[in-house]
Amino acid sequence: MRAMYLNEITRLAENSTPLQLVEVPRPNAGDGEILIRVAACGVCHTELDEIEGRTPPAALPIIPGHEVIGYVENIGAKVTRHKVGDRVGVGWIFAADGSEK
């Protein structure tokens, strides 16, 4: 799949093209996960803060973006709420570690 990668923290005033279009392996949905084919992805000030290091990502590279709208492409074995083809949306979740299931 194609994705925009952020490889390093940089000042946008000095580097107006911090993202690089790359080909990455298509992920698989884990048991309790869904895989979303992204139709649209919001990019806002949160990503600017990540790019410039005010709220640095935990690790690099990352695929920035949130506020996703798309379609369920694959589901994990334990998923019951969604089915392939469902239209879904994802909001921004700061520091989610999966413990809130």
Between the two ends of the chain, the Cα-to-Cα distance in Å is 28
Q: What stretches of 1-101 adopt beta strand conformation (E)?
A: 2-6, 19-23, 34-42, 66-75, 87-90
Residue 9, CB-side half-sphere exposure with 13 Å CA sphere: 10
In which band, very low, low, confident or very high, does the pLDDT at 93 lie, cut at 50, 70 and 90?
A: low
Residue 53: predicted pLDDT: 95
Query: What CATH class is the domain 2-90?
Result: alpha beta
Dist. CA 82–CA 28, nearest whole Å: 16
58-75 pLDDT, tens digit each: 899 999 888 899 999 999
Q: What is the mean pLDDT of residues 39-63?
A: 90
Residue 48: predicted pLDDT: 92
> What are the structural domain ranges in the chain?
2-90
- The pTM is what? 0.76
